[in-house]
């Protein structure tokens, strides 16, 4: 029979986890706000600088596309460690929520830029022609014929991105960012507390499942086909 | 009124240069429906994109009501595009907008007030017979209904030119007929010039006043639909006619292709011809119909043992244009204007065609 190692009384676990969950939600929320604000324009830019786009331009396209690829290709732990000087410059510290937000936002923006670009590519090109023939300006084309039609696909991507950020927040927890990941590492890993470990797993599964559920519902709500 | 003058479009430079449109010239008068037909790859979609100014022509002009639109700056072009309404193939509706919001699209871009927009969209949906479908999304509409929404959207900014780019391709025959009827109505009510680009010959017969055939970037033949249909020697006219198999003629027959050349061909011309030539006439295939209010007809007939010149003259007197399609070898001796294009006929007769063409050509040279 397996003996459970419980250093924290089961009754105290909620008091330990709830503030951590709050921290995770704040971290992921702040990161996702930055990711959407930066990723949507960047995704539009990459898509339309590409050959066949609205302002096709080879050089800026290559530069931007490479930058995004580099951001996408580094494993998060390495990205986080490698930009510590930059993080410190921006936030004045390299531990805590604020410090975790910087690498998470960078990784998230690169991720979301690709997602937006890919979603825009999925919109039938006829619609851009329709908008142009109807007298739309380029901004109007992007707003209506590209983003407007790609909304369900972008929301689907946003769901995946949010879940990835929850995962990243746990990784960030290992360098003392706080949140669920921090609790899992300090209690579950360093103290081998089975109770806390199982509780963090349950909380994370529930969190990811509800994000997915909300995302799926929003996709269905915005799709008219 | 829209004029296309010396319009050329090329892609690429140097060795990879391809000429897609070569020096096109045509006009679509106010109130006219002008069809451009051609096989895929002929340059039809490039022509459409040059006409609605989505592509700049390499040279030449697109002139709408006297104003040359091909010289404009990008910004002026955006405004000029509003004078040409475009109906797209497979409707091009925005899937996340209702029928009403799709129609409103050009008005949104223009920035009209909400009240004005609501009024105009109501008028337009009413005009295309979809007033009760305003709140439906495209996926809730049939193909024909979706294309009606597309037409309403094209008309939103009151253009004087309507460009239909394969608008009926992919629709079932009933929907095509309904859309064509709607376009004709709109042309009459709004005095539109309609440029109708399609690959469907049947639809051209239903809709067009004039037709041009585009092939490899050139207009190879053009004219009014009725004239082309009446001309027995017009390749385009022949392509526009419903082509059905012709019953095989007896071996000794000469087979004639006959077109209604005059507006007042007597309905009993077969009887009259038989009486004049004193031989029986076999009707092998025929179609007579009314196109744009004019009677247009053609027939394939077989005549045995009569001098082709006499047949040709007799048919001419009856107001029919005639072309000797082919002759059985036994009677192939005379001189006629024969462009011996073999239509579907009995296999034996078809085999004889080559001989006939050779004989006729030789004899004609002697005559000349």
The residue ranges of chain A whose pLDDT is under 70 are 1-2
Picking from B78, B82, B124 by the largest number of A CB atoms within 10 A of its own CB, the best residue to mutate is B78
Task: Give the C-alpha distances (Å, rounded to integers) separating B41 from A72, B21, B35, B164.
Answer: 41, 11, 17, 17
- SS3 label, residue B290: strand
CA distance to partner chain B, nearest, from residue A29 (Å)? 28
- Kindly state the tokens that stand for B34: 């002008």
- Kindly state the tokens that stand for B127: 């005009």
- Kindly state the tokens that stand for A179: 């949140």
d(CA B256, CA B307): 12
Decide if A111 contacts A161 (C-beta within 8 A): yes
**Co-location of B161 and B29 in the same domain:** yes
pLDDT of the residue at B243? 60
Final residue belonging to a domain, choices B202, B230, B258: B230
Using CA coordinates, name the residue in chain A closest to B106: A134
pLDDT of the residue at A81? 87
Instruction: Give the total number of structural domains in chain B.
Output: 2
pLDDT of the residue at B336? 38
**Co-location of B187 and B265 in the same domain:** no
- Kindly state the tokens that stand for A165: 């950020």
Instruction: Identify which of B75, B57, B45 has the alpha carbon closest to the alpha carbon of residue B3.
Output: B57
**Co-location of B290 and B350 in the same domain:** yes
Final residue belonging to a domain, choices B230, B260, B285: B230
Contacts 24+ apart (CB under 8 A), B357-364: B359/B332, B359/B333, B360/B324, B360/B332, B360/B335, B360/B336, B363/B334, B363/B335, B364/B335, B364/B337
**Co-location of B100 and B15 in the same domain:** yes
B139 has a chain A CB within 8 A of its CB:
yes
DSSP annotation of B82: G
**Co-location of B342 and B197 in the same domain:** no
Decide if B234 contacts B41 (C-beta within 8 A): no
The separation between CA B18 and the C-alpha centre of its own chain, rounded to angstroms, equals: 26
Range of the domain at B264: 243-367
Please indicate whether, in this complex, the C-beta atoms of A132 and B81 are within 8 angstroms of each other: yes
Closest in A135, A140, A144 to B79, CB measured = A135
Instruction: Identify which of B281, B290, B235 has the alpha carbon closest to the alpha carbon of residue B260.
Output: B290
pLDDT of the residue at B334? 37
pLDDT of the residue at B342? 35
Evaluate whether residue B84 is within a structural domain: yes
Residues of chain B positioned with their CB less than 8 A from the CB of A223: 96
- SS3 label, residue A99: helix
Decide if B42 contacts B20 (C-beta within 8 A): no
**Co-location of B249 and B164 in the same domain:** no
**Co-location of B190 and B80 in the same domain:** yes
Residues of chain B positioned with their CB less than 8 A from the CB of A134: 81-82, 105-106, 109, 153, 156-157
Burial degree of B138 (CB within 10 A; 0-12, 13-18, 19+)? buried
Please indicate whether, in this complex, the C-beta atoms of A224 and B96 are within 8 angstroms of each other: yes
Please indicate whether, in this complex, the C-beta atoms of B94 and A127 are within 8 angstroms of each other: yes
> B98-133 pLDDT, tens per residue?
999 999 999 999 999 999 999 999 999 999 999 999
Residues of chain B positioned with their CB less than 8 A from the CB of A152: 96
d(CA B273, CA A2): 109
Please indicate whether, in this complex, the C-beta atoms of B138 and A224 are within 8 angstroms of each other: yes
**Co-location of B272 and B126 in the same domain:** no
**Co-location of B6 and B140 in the same domain:** yes
**Co-location of B212 and B168 in the same domain:** yes
Instruction: Mention every residue, 6+ apart, whose C-beta is less than 8 A from residue B79.
Output: A135
Sole residue written with tokens 């070569």: B22
Decide if A30 contacts A219 (C-beta within 8 A): no
Please count the residues of chain B.
Answer: 368
pLDDT of the residue at B351? 41
Q: Could you tell me which residues are beta bridge partners of residue B34?
A: B195, B210
Evaluate whether residue B235 is within a structural domain: no
Closest in A124, A129, A152 to B54, CB measured = A129
Residues of chain A positioned with their CB less than 8 A from the CB of B90: 126
CATH of the domain at B326: 3.30.70.260
Decide if B184 contacts B33 (C-beta within 8 A): yes
Question: CATH class for domain A14-222?
Answer: mainly alpha
- SS3 label, residue B128: coil
Decide if B66 contacts B72 (C-beta within 8 A): no
- Count interface pairs A-B at CB distance under 8 A: 69
Per DSSP bridges, beta strands B67-68 and B84-87 are unpaired
Sole residue written with tokens 């871009």: B109
The residue ranges of chain B whose pLDDT is under 50 are 330-368
pLDDT of the residue at B275? 86
**Co-location of B190 and B286 in the same domain:** no
Report the greatest alpha carbon distance in chain B: 79
DSSP string, B304-352: ES--HHHHHHHHHHTTEEEEEEEE-GGGTTS---------S--HHHHHH
- Kindly state the tokens that stand for B248: 């095989």
**Co-location of B359 and B269 in the same domain:** yes
Nearest-5° Cα angle at A103, A99 to A107: 155
CA distance to partner chain B, nearest, from residue A225 (Å)? 5
Residue spans per domain, chain A: 14-222
Closest in B54, B95, B137 to A149, CB measured = B95
Instruction: Identify which of B137, B85, B107, B97 has the alpha carbon closest to the alpha carbon of residue A136.
Output: B107
Instruction: Identify which of B320, B350, B317, B322 has the alpha carbon closest to the alpha carbon of residue B336.
Output: B322
Please indicate whether, in this complex, the C-beta atoms of B92 and A222 are within 8 angstroms of each other: no
Please indicate whether, in this complex, the C-beta atoms of B95 and A225 are within 8 angstroms of each other: yes
Q: Is the dihedral of CA A152, A105, A107, A40 positive or negative?
A: positive
ipTM: 0.84
Rounded to a whole number of angstroms, the CA Rg of chain B reads: 25
Closest in A131, A136, A149 to B96, CB measured = A149
DSSP string, A209-221: HHHHHHHHHHHHH
Decide if B151 contacts B187 (C-beta within 8 A): no
Using CA coordinates, name the residue in chain B closest to A138: B78
d(CA A67, CA A55): 19
CA distance to partner chain A, nearest, from residue B56 (Å)? 13
Instruction: Identify which of B321, B342, B324, B346 has the alpha carbon closest to the alpha carbon of residue B333.
Output: B324
Instruction: Mark B358-367 as b/e (b = at least 16 C-beta within 10 Å).
Output: ebbeebeeee
B46 has a chain A CB within 8 A of its CB:
no
> B221-231 pLDDT, tens per residue?
888 888 888 87
Residues of chain A positioned with their CB less than 8 A from the CB of B166: none
Residue B337: other Cβ atoms inside 10 A = 13
pLDDT of the residue at B356? 38
d(CA B189, CA B30): 12
CA distance to partner chain B, nearest, from residue A133 (Å)? 6
d(CA B75, CA B79): 7
Evaluate whether residue B251 is within a structural domain: yes
Final residue belonging to a domain, choices B230, B260, B290: B230
Residues of chain A positioned with their CB less than 8 A from the CB of B73: none
Closest in A131, A132, A151 to B96, CB measured = A151
Using CA coordinates, name the residue in chain B closest to A151: B96
């Amino acid at each position: 029979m397996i003996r459970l190692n419980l250093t924290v009384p089961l009754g105290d676990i909620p008091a330990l986890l709830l503030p951590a969950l709050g921290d995770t939600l704040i971290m992921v929320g702040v990161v996702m706000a930055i990711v959407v604000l930066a990723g949507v324009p960047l995704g539009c830019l990459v898509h339309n600088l590409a050959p066949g786009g609205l302002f096709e331009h080879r050089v800026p396209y290559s530069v931007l596309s490479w930058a995004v690829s580099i951001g996408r290709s580094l494993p998060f732990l390495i990205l986080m460690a490698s930009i510590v000087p930059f993080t410190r410059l921006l936030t004045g510290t390299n531990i805590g929520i604020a410090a975790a937000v910087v690498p998470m936002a960078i990784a998230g923006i690169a991720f979301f830029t690709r997602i937006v670009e890919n979603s825009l590519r999925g919109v039938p090109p006829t619609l851009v022609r329709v908008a142009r023939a109807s007298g739309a300006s380029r901004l109007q084309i992007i707003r209506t014929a590209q983003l407007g039609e790609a909304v369900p696909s972008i929301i689907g991507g946003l769901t995946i991105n949010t879940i990835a950020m929850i995962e990243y927040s746990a990784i960030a927890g290992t360098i003392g960012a706080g949140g669920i990941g921090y609790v899992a590492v300090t209690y579950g890993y360093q103290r081998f507390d089975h109770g806390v470990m199982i509780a963090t797993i349950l909380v994370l599964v529930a969190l990811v499942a509800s994000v997915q559920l909300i995302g799926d519902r929003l996709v269905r709500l915005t799709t008219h086909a | 009124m829209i004029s296309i003058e010396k319009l050329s479009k090329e892609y690429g430079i140097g060795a990879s240069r391809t000429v897609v449109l070569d020096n096109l010239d045509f006009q679509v008068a106010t109130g006219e429906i002008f069809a451009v037909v051609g096989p895929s790859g002929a340059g039809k979609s490039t022509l459409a994109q040059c006409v609605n100014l989505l592509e700049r022509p390499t040279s030449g002009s697109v002139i709408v009501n006297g104003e040359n639109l091909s010289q404009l700056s990008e910004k002026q072009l955006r405004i000029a595009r509003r004078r040409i309404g475009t109906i797209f193939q497979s409707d091009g509706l925005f899937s996340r907008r209702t029928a009403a919001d799709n129609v409103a699209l050009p008005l949104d871009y223009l920035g009209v007030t909400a009240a004005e927009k609501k009024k105009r969209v109501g008028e337009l949906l009413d005009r295309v017979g979809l007033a009760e479908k305003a709140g439906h999304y495209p996926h809730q509409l049939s193909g024909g209904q979706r294309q009606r929404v597309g037409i309403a959207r094209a008309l939103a900014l009151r253009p004087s030119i309507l460009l239909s780019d394969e608008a009926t391709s992919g629709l079932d025959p009933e929907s095509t007929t309904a859309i064509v009827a709607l376009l004709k109505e709109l042309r009459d009510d709004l005095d539109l010039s309609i440029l109708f680009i399609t690959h469907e010959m049947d639809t051209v017969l239903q809709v067009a006043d004039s037709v041009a055939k585009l092939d490899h970037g050139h207009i190879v033949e053009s004219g009014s639909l009725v004239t082309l249909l009446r001309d027995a020697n017009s390749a385009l006219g022949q392509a526009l006619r419903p082509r059905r198999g012709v019953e095989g003629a007896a071996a000794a027959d000469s087979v004639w292709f006959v077109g209604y050349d005059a507006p007042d061909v007597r309905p009993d011309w077969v009887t009259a011809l038989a009486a004049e030539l004193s031989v029986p006439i076999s009707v092998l295939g025929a179609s007579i119909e009314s196109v744009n209010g004019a009677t247009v007809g053609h027939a394939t007939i077989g005549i045995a043992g009569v001098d082709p010149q006499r047949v040709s003259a007799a048919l001419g007197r009856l107001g029919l244009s005639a072309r000797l399609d082919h002759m059985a070898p036994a009677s192939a001796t005379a001189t006629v204007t024969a462009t011996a294009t073999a239509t579907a006929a009995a296999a034996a007769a078809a085999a004889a065609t080559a001989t006939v063409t050779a004989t006729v050509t030789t004899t004609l040279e002697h005559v000349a």
